[in-house]
Chain A
Amino acid sequence: MYPVKSVVIVGGGTAGWLTAGVIAARHHGRIKAGSFSVTLVESPAIGIIGVGEGTWPTIRTTLAKMGVSETDFFRHCDGAFKQGGRFARWTTGADDDAYYHPLMLPQGFAEVNLVPHWLVRGNGTSFCDAVTPQGRLCDEGLAPKTITTPEYAGAANYAYHLDAGKFAPFLQKHCTSALGVRHVLADVVKVNQAGIGDILSVGTRQAGEIAGDLFVDCTGFSSLLLGQTLGVPFKPCDDVLFCDTALAVQVPFERPDAPMASQTNATAQEAGWIWDIALPTRRGIGYVYSSRHSTEDRAREVLARYVGPRIEGLKIRKIPIRAGHRETFWKNNCVAVGLAAGFLEPLESSAIVLGELSAKLIAEQMPANREVMDIVAKRFNEVTGYRWGRIIDFLKLHYVLTKRTDTQFWIDNVAPESVPERLKNLLHLWKYQPPWFFDEFDRLEEVFPAASYQYVLYGMGFRTEVDPDDMVGTAKAAMRYMSETTAIVAKMRTQLPKNREIIQKIHEYGLQPI
């Protein structure tokens, strides 16, 4: 028996420190007793990519479980509230073409599927506004909570926008000071393997050999352990998702008290889309585009047109995107998390949430010894492979429902050969029955639940045939939930402060733990 007593994480970006924190918090008792250790080896020379600035509500539980104070998070990571995504110009490309994918489930989601009722009696109200208050909250730039709401609680569901360059050092400090994670600043120059391929240790330039029982590859795009050392191939998906380049820029606010959007804005362009994320000090803006459909010069023009004259003199960073993921994620005694596992365009902020889910699965299923590790690895690969597949499907959904034909990019995106088989089947099925429970999304901790599909499908004008006779039994409940939505908006409007105002208060007064 070879017990698993030491976990070595290689790489110290967002993925590395999140994984370290999640594992160390889960196994804190054993770490304290000295029978288990978590070590993070980080190169003092290699910087972090730090593109992930959007999260999912899971991040609140993740941080709370690590024992992080939400107030500290806001103050040190340039944190801001995110209540969903607003997708503009994706369907027709017209000025008024926009829909929300909010973070709140439709009202009464567990009890009744509102889709058919909205389809029949929606009276011109958008799906989002008919079933949840959150789109309206975003329209008015309202925060999801007040200064008296305890840490990590909300009147409306929320996630964060954050400065990834500040998030990793913030987690590092917490992991090393509160969770007993060992931090080694050294460059990995060699990976030592046993005959069967297991990694025995990493050789470093500054700190000698670092041995471990389980290695987590958080080395980013280079995938040093899983890809380079263990030879797990990369599976591109650029035949489905065409964007392969991002031009990113940070735009300061004109005034320190300028209004801050409460959602991620994603505005479709001729050969991709532009993200626009509000942090307290600046907006992070980036054009993600397909280099097969646009030259870089043209992409820079598109970005400049979106930002306006204020782009003058700002530094534009070019980031290549290789859409896809490793064929497997856990091989031998090595598992990859973050960019080392794969990367997709940040259309639905899937990077950090997938890192969290992976870290949680590793922490919860931490194999007791090497003998049972392969069983856990197989499970991990199944679940994680499924998750990547569903994220790819879900991102493609945003493109495949477009009615735009103004550029080749949008025309190519609806080409049947670019649509995964599974998604094709679902779209076929959903013509006759709207997604809800009992759909195929039945896995524990689905990244995008059926509600997310509802918001995108019906936000983009998808139509499902419904039989009014089939809705009789649930009509009363549905009408009640939909009228409740309007009442909740009216109530929240009087209670919730502006997004900017609450951020300033959190910086000044802090949130209470209870």
Chain B
Amino acid sequence: MSNVVLLNSVTHRNLRVDATPSAHYGDDRRFVGVIVSEFPLLAVHCPLFFSKDANTGAFYCGAMLGFDESENLFLDDGRDCYRPLNLQRGPFFTAGDELAIDLDHPRVGRGEALFGENGEPSAYLKSIIQLFRDLVPGLERTKVFIDTLLKLKLIEPVDLDVAFDDGSRRDVTGLYTINQEALREIPDAVVLDLFRRGYLSLIYLMIASLKQVPVLARRKNRSFTAGLSLSHA
């Protein structure tokens, strides 16, 4: 299924990676894990929620990109919308301090070169290295943010029941958001602490992003209409 190896400039000198967003390249995900520094970039496009890792049960933050399995409603937007780091990273992973790549990933083959003729990292590879410099500590900061909210009992489950123009409904479960009632009850000293740590703005970004759920539903409705016009053509 996957063949993850450490990246080196000798063996992988001529390796190329396709960086364009595409459903065929693994971007077909309706929910993608994100880090707190991405909140301001994402909250203007899509809903942000907490969810649980199926394997460990641990909470993580994620951006909702669609309603159905493998549905990413932002794929056609190209570069107009911010693309989460977890999609931008493509076939790359970190193994300790080193960069690793999944050679069986569909992105590997054509596209951007990773190294120059003399083995120096390409601009693309440099951007990937920078991406992980943000992502790795970002994951840790996101975990601390979540732990703080859990301790304050500020996270609550939320079920989305959305109706679409074609008459179908989706009941989306397994999502969690900010408990606004509990938020109103927290003592002043805690509010101040949350503010100083930058958490208060993250909290309000998450709350504000809930308004993106109907916007996302409209995106899906447009895809029905697009389908209709196609079938008429």
| A, B assembled together | yes
Cβ contacts B162-206/A at 8 Å (1 or 0 each): 000000000000101000000000000000000000000000000
Cβ contacts B1-31/A at 8 Å (1 or 0 each): 0000000000000000000000000000000
What residues of chain A lie closer than 8 Å to B176, measured between beta carbons? Answer: 514
Contact present for A510 and B150 (CB under 8 Å): no
A513 within 8 A of B: yes
B82 within 8 A of A: no
Q: For chain A, what secondary structure do more than half of its interface residues adopt (helix, strand, loop), or is it mixed?
A: loop
Candidate in B54, B57, B176 with the most chain A CB atoms within 10 angstroms: B57
What residues of chain A lie closer than 8 Å to B55, measured between beta carbons? Answer: 147, 505
Cβ contacts B201-216/A at 8 Å (1 or 0 each): 0000000000000000
What residues of chain A lie closer than 8 Å to B174, measured between beta carbons? Answer: 148
Distance (whole angstroms) from the CB of B74 to the closest CB of chain A: 26
Provided the pairs A148-B174, A514-B176 are in contact, do residues A509 and B156 lie with their beta carbons within 8 angstroms? no
Contact present for A511 and B157 (CB under 8 Å): no
Chain A's closest residue to B179 (CB) is: A514
Q: How far does the alpha carbon of A510 sit from the alpha carbon of B147 in the complex, in Å?
A: 13
Number of interface residues of B (CB under 8 A): 15
A512 within 8 A of B: yes
Number of A-B contacts (CB under 8 A): 34
Provided the pairs A148-B52, A148-B174 are in contact, do residues A513 and B150 lie with their beta carbons within 8 angstroms? yes
What residues of chain A lie closer than 8 Å to B56, measured between beta carbons? Answer: 147, 505, 508-509
B58 within 8 A of A: yes
Distance (whole angstroms) from the CB of B55 to the closest CB of chain A: 7
Distance (whole angstroms) from the CB of B94 to the closest CB of chain A: 21
Chain B's closest residue to A509 (CB) is: B56
Q: Which of A461-511 contact B (CB under 8 A)?
A: 505, 508-511
B93 within 8 A of A: no
B155 within 8 A of A: yes
Q: How far does the alpha carbon of A146 sit from the alpha carbon of B56 in the complex, in Å?
A: 10
What residues of chain A lie closer than 8 Å to B52, measured between beta carbons? Answer: 148, 512
Distance (whole angstroms) from the CB of A344 to the closest CB of chain B: 38
B59 within 8 A of A: yes
Q: How far does the alpha carbon of A388 sit from the alpha carbon of B57 in the complex, in Å?
A: 41
Chain A's closest residue to B51 (CB) is: A148
Q: How far does the alpha carbon of A149 sit from the alpha carbon of B54 in the complex, in Å?
A: 10
What residues of chain A lie closer than 8 Å to B59, measured between beta carbons? Answer: 512
Contact present for A514 and B57 (CB under 8 Å): no
Distance (whole angstroms) from the CB of A155 to the closest CB of chain B: 13
Distance (whole angstroms) from the CB of B50 to the closest CB of chain A: 10
Distance (whole angstroms) from the CB of B58 to the closest CB of chain A: 6
Contact present for A510 and B156 (CB under 8 Å): no
Q: How far does the alpha carbon of A511 sit from the alpha carbon of B150 in the complex, in Å?
A: 12
What residues of chain B lie closer than 8 Å to A509, measured between beta carbons? Answer: 56-58
Candidate in A146, A508, A510, A512 with the most chain B CB atoms within 10 angstroms: A512
What residues of chain B lie closer than 8 Å to A149, measured between beta carbons? Answer: 57
Contact present for A148 and B54 (CB under 8 Å): yes
Contact present for A512 and B157 (CB under 8 Å): no
Q: How far does the alpha carbon of A148 sit from the alpha carbon of B57 in the complex, in Å?
A: 4
Q: Which of A165-213 contact B (CB under 8 A)?
A: none
Q: How far does the alpha carbon of A296 sit from the alpha carbon of B155 in the complex, in Å?
A: 58
Contact present for A514 and B58 (CB under 8 Å): no
What residues of chain A lie closer than 8 Å to B157, measured between beta carbons? Answer: 514
Candidate in A147, A505, A508, A510 with the most chain B CB atoms within 10 angstroms: A147
Cβ contacts A224-251/B at 8 Å (1 or 0 each): 0000000000000000000000000000
Distance (whole angstroms) from the CB of B119 to the closest CB of chain A: 41
What residues of chain A lie closer than 8 Å to B54, measured between beta carbons? Answer: 146-148
Q: How far does the alpha carbon of A511 sit from the alpha carbon of B57 in the complex, in Å?
A: 7
Chain B's closest residue to A150 (CB) is: B157
Distance (whole angstroms) from the CB of A84 to the closest CB of chain B: 25
Chain A's closest residue to B58 (CB) is: A509
Chain B's closest residue to A148 (CB) is: B52
What residues of chain B lie closer than 8 Å to A513, measured between beta carbons? Answer: 150, 153
What residues of chain A lie closer than 8 Å to B153, measured between beta carbons? Answer: 513-514
Distance (whole angstroms) from the CB of A149 to the closest CB of chain B: 8
Contact present for B156 and A505 (CB under 8 Å): no
Q: How far does the alpha carbon of A147 sit from the alpha carbon of B56 in the complex, in Å?
A: 6
Distance (whole angstroms) from the CB of A148 to the closest CB of chain B: 4
What residues of chain B lie closer than 8 Å to A508, measured between beta carbons? Answer: 56
Chain A's closest residue to B174 (CB) is: A148
Q: How far does the alpha carbon of A511 sit from the alpha carbon of B53 in the complex, in Å?
A: 11
Distance (whole angstroms) from the CB of B7 to the closest CB of chain A: 30
Q: Which of A438-474 contact B (CB under 8 A)?
A: none
- By a beta-carbon cutoff of 8 Å, the part of chain B in contact with chain A is 52-59, 150, 153, 155-157, 174, 176
Q: Which 4 A-B pairs have the closest CB atoms?
A: A147-B57, A509-B56, A148-B52, A148-B57
Return 29 A-B CB contacts under 8 Å, by A number. A146-B54, A146-B57, A147-B54, A147-B55, A147-B56, A147-B57, A148-B53, A148-B54, A148-B57, A148-B174, A149-B57, A505-B55, A505-B56, A505-B57, A508-B56, A509-B57, A509-B58, A510-B57, A511-B57, A512-B52, A512-B57, A512-B58, A512-B59, A512-B150, A513-B150, A514-B150, A514-B153, A514-B155, A514-B156
Given contacts A147-B54, A147-B56, A149-B57, 17 further A-B pairs with CB under 8 A are A147-B55, A148-B52, A148-B53, A148-B57, A148-B174, A505-B57, A508-B56, A509-B56, A509-B57, A511-B57, A512-B52, A512-B58, A513-B153, A514-B150, A514-B153, A514-B155, A514-B157
- By a beta-carbon cutoff of 8 Å, the part of chain A in contact with chain B is 146-149, 505, 508-514
